[in-house]
Each structure stands twice: as C-alpha cells, then as structure tokens.
Structure 1
Amino acid sequence: HLVYISDAQDGLIAHCLLVGSPNGRGVKLGLPRPGGRVPRGIVVRYNTFVANGGGAVSSSYGAAENRIIGNVMLGTGDGANITAFRLVDGSSTRIEGNVGWGTSTVVAASAGHDRHDNRQIDPQLDAAYRPTNAELLGPANEPLVGHLTPTREHAPPATLTWQP
C-alpha cells in the first residue's frame, strides 16, 4: 500500500498522485484485523491513482463515515477501483463523483458503500497525469477530478454532469 490509514480520525488525503503499488492499494482505510470503528471521518479527495494492482482505495472492517470523492483511478487490476474487505454493514462510506477506467467496475458492491455518480470513462491522462477528456474538464479547461483539480476552499466538490 502507498498510504495505510488504520487508527485515525478526521483526516484528509487530497491532491496526491499515487502511482505504482503493484501488489497493494493506493490507499487502505482499515485496521489490520477486526475491531473498533476506525479510521473514521477520513476524506480521500481529488487524487489520481495509477497502477495500483490491489485497487485504488480499499475500506475494511470497522472503517466508518469516510468519504471518497473526485478521484481518477486507472490500472488497478481486474477488480473494482474502490473495494471493501469485510466492511461492517452501515459503515456509511460515501463514494461520489469518482472516475475509474480499465476495471470491471468503479466501486465494488458492499453494504457499507453509499455510491453516487461514479463513472467508468477513459480520463485520457497526459504526461503530467492530467485528464484531457473534455467530459472531465470545466469551463476554463481545468480538471474537475484528480490531483490537479483546483482547490476551492470551503466549497463543495465539483458536480460532474455525466452525458449518456
């Protein structure tokens, strides 16, 4: 794993480029064994995940009330970009506005996942891992997802309007 959050509360992982964990995840949210309701209140927002063989983000066991928002994920193996391992029912992990590519699905089915507006679409990353797909760019050609998304202090995440 590139980032492993086990016993933490109210943290932020944002604007990171997380590349190259062939046997692990980009970010793992969870204790190494069952017990406790942590990590809790962690926000994983506006990151780009490339070539993380075990998935981009994984939640496990008692991880609760975490948010995974506005990330770009590709090259994460055969399964889903966002996964869960024995995640407790009712963990309320909100997963919203993420873009995944090259996997079977963006978010794995889990009773603990609250999924909204995630989409499989090729982000067409350039050499700086910036999305160039017009569907992922704002009116000033700024990325709406991933690590190069402009910071908007005290503003909600950008709303992507998915075209059918």
Structure 2
Amino acid sequence: HVGGVAGVRTTVGEGCQYELCAKDVTVPHANIEEQRAMWGIETPDPGEPTRLLAEGDAIEVGDICLQVIETPGHTPGGIVLFAATEQGNIAFVGDTLFPGGHGRTDLSGGDGAAILRSLSKLARLLPPDTVCLTGHGDSTTMARELIQNPFMQM
C-alpha cells in the first residue's frame, strides 16, 4: 500500500495528511527497498509522515471520528481505524483481517503470533455488527468472522 502514498500526496497537494503508526515509521522505506529487490518494482518515496499515530489516537474526518487500534502482525505498527457512526459501526482493517483469514506475515516486519493476538483483540473490542473494510477483496462483518474465521477462534 505504500506505493500509492506519494501519488496521493502529489495529487491532493500541500494539505494532504499522511498519518502512520509511530511503530511503522521505518516500514515504508524498507518496503520500497524490498519491492525493488524482490520484484523490480520502482515505488516513489512517500516522504515524511505529517503525524505519527498510537493506540487511542483519534482522526477527525468531517463529522466522523476514527479511533486508532494498534494491531501488529502484518507490520509492527499495523492499525485498524474504527468509527461508530449513525449509519453503523465501521472498521478499516487493512491487512490485519480478511474474510476467513488474515494478512501476510511473511514479509519484513511480519509476525504470525502478533497478528493472532491482534485478531483476538479485535474480537474483544469491535461490536459484532461492525462492517470490516479490508485492504484487499471483499468486506466482511465482525459477526461473520467470529463464526467463520478459524484465526479468530484461536
């Protein structure tokens, strides 16, 4: 996902916020180098984050407040952004949670045991009706994952 940050920042301009968990501050550069070495992908450097995030921080987007939940595993500073809205609960789960599974842990900084702890944390914190928007593929709900995802039951 680091590949799109520089382009978004260029397109949006000066006011574009680039917020990143403080525990992942070295990850974008490392991923760029890894992608170049492994697959020959040239990715523009996203530059410095405008804000470093941690557990419990809030991101205001219009009248929506996104709560930061640290979910290490895919990367050391993986996060989920959760919002309780009038239209329902929603979580941007990125590469932490996929329908029936979880994100990769085999790349630099990944940790299989940590991602299982993060899934357990989400099971405790997120209401069952939460719509979970993943980094790849279909969305899901916390209720569905609690029933069908074997990694949520570990």
Q: TM-score by structure 1 length?
A: 0.26
Query: Which structure is higher in helix share?
Result: 2
Query: Which structure is higher in strand share?
Result: 1
